[in-house]
Amino acid sequence: MLVGVETGGTKVVCAAARADAPDRPVAVRRFPTTDPGATIGRIREFIAEAGADEPVEALGLASFGPVDADPSSPRFGTITTTPKAGWADVDLLGRVNQEGLPAAFVSDVLGAAVGELRYGAGRGASSLAYATIGTGVGVGIVIDGRPIGGDGWPEVGHLLVRRHPADRFAGSCPFHGDCLEGLTAGPAVLARWGVDASSFPAGLHDEAFAVLASYIAQMAYSVVLTTGAEKVVLGGGVMLAPGLLDAVRSALPDLARGYGPAALSAAAPEDVLVAPGVPDSPGVVGALALAADLL
C-alpha cells in the first residue's frame, strides 16, 4: 500500500492506493489543518489504518510551505518560515514518518504538477507547470518528467509583472507589494475590489478580468519561455471564477506576439493554458505517484 498526503493551509487530504494504481485511491480522508500536533496525529492515524491489511511500503507528502524539499539538506522535510501560526520550523516529514518508510517530500504545487502531468491535463506531455491562484500564488514545475524543487524554490508566485494601465491597486504582498501574488491572489482581489472574482458586478467585470488575466497570462508566458512547459495548468480558488480561464487565454497572444518555443507558437492558447484535469486534489495524486516511484 502507498500513502499520499497533501497538507494545505486550510485542509489536509490523505489517500491510500495500491502501488500499481496511484491515481485510483482506495481510501481518502480530508480534515482541517489545525495545530501541528493534532494535524500530524490524524495523518499518522490514517497511515496506521491504511496499513492494517497490507503494510504501507512508501509515503509521499506534498505540503504548503515554504518547505525545505532538498533531499541533501539537514532540514529536508521541514516547513520553514510560514506565517501560519505554530507551523514555522515544523519537521513535518520526520514527525509523520517516525517509522522511517521510504518517503518523497515536495511542495504542494509540485505534487500537483506531478499529478497533473501523469494523470491529468498533462498526460502525454513531458514538461508542465501547475499554478494555483488561491490564498497565495504558487507554481510547481516538471521539466522532462523531472520535478524541479529544493529549498523553497522555484518561487514563481512572486514573479514581478508589468502593470496593467487600468490597475491602481498597490498590491498586497508584504514583501513586494505588486508582485504576481500581491496582484492576483484571492486576498488581493478582495482588497482591491471588495468581492471575489466570481462576484464582480457588471460594470466592473470586464476591466477586473482584463487586469487579472493580464498578470496571470504574463506568468504563464514567462514560465513557458523559461521552462519550455507544454502545458500550464491553472488551478486554485480564483481560477474557479467562470470565464477567467478564457480571459487569460485571450490575453496570451498579445503578450507573446507569435514569439516563443515551438510548442507555444504552434499551439492555440487553449491547448497550453488548461484547467486541472485531476478531478480532486492533484497534489495528493502526485504525492502517491512520487511514493510509487520509490518502490
Residue 179 touching Zn ion (CB under 5 A): yes
Per-residue mark of binding to ligand ADP, 5-44 (x: CB under 6 A): ---xxx----------------------------------
| Among 87, 120, 91, 93, residue whose Cα is nearest residue 106 | 93
Nearer to Zn ion, 99 or 155 (CB): 155
Which of 23, 151, 196, 246 binds ligand ADP (CB under 6 A)? It is 196
Query: Torsions phi, psi of 177, nearest 5?
Result: 70, -95
Per-residue CA distances from 158 to 153, 177, 218, 259 (Å): 11, 10, 12, 24
Q: Among ligand ADP, Zn ion, none, what does residue 140 contact (CB within 5–8 Å per kind)?
A: none
Residue 237 touching ligand ADP (CB under 6 A): yes
Three-state DSSP at 257 gives: coil
Which of 139, 241, 252, 256 binds ligand ADP (CB under 6 A)? It is 241
Return d(Cα 283, Cα 142) in angstroms, integer: 13
Nearer to ligand ADP, 229 or 234 (CB): 234
Q: Tell me the sheet residues that pair with 90.
A: 79
Region of 22-30, 90-98, 166-174, 193-201 interacting with ligand ADP (CB under 6 A):
193-201
Q: Among ligand ADP, Zn ion, none, what does residue 175 contact (CB within 5–8 Å per kind)?
A: Zn ion
Least spacing, CB of residue 136 vs Zn ion, in Å: 9
Per-residue CA distances from 4 to 9, 15, 68, 280, 289 (Å): 17, 5, 18, 13, 8
| Cis ω for the linkage preceding 66 (within 30 of 0) | yes
Q: In what order do the strands lie in the sheet with 146-148?
A: 146-148, 137-143, 128-133, 231-235, 273-274
Which of 29, 158, 163, 205 binds Zn ion (CB under 5 A)? It is 158
**At 114, which amino acid appears?**
V
Residue 94 touching ligand ADP (CB under 6 A): no
Query: Torsions phi, psi of 155, nearest 5?
Result: -125, 50
Least spacing, CB of residue 135 vs ligand ADP, in Å: 3
CA atoms within 13 A on the CB side of 62: 29
Q: Among Zn ion, ligand ADP, none, what does residue 196 contact (CB within 5–8 Å per kind)?
A: ligand ADP
Nearer to ligand ADP, 98 or 199 (CB): 199
Q: Among Zn ion, ligand ADP, none, what does residue 179 contact (CB within 5–8 Å per kind)?
A: Zn ion
Which of 65, 122, 134, 182 binds ligand ADP (CB under 6 A)? It is 134
Residue 83 touching Zn ion (CB under 5 A): no
Helix (H) or strand (E) holding 210: helix 202-227
Residue 98 touching ligand ADP (CB under 6 A): no
Return d(Cα 163, Cα 179) in angstroms, integer: 9
Region of 26-34, 45-53, 78-86, 130-138 interacting with ligand ADP (CB under 6 A):
130-138
**At 77, which amino acid appears?**
G
The grid coordinates listed for 65 are 510551505
Residues binding Zn ion (CB under 5 A): 158, 173, 175-176, 179
List residues binding ligand ADP (CB under 6 A).
8-10, 132, 134-135, 186-187, 190, 196-198, 236-238, 240-241
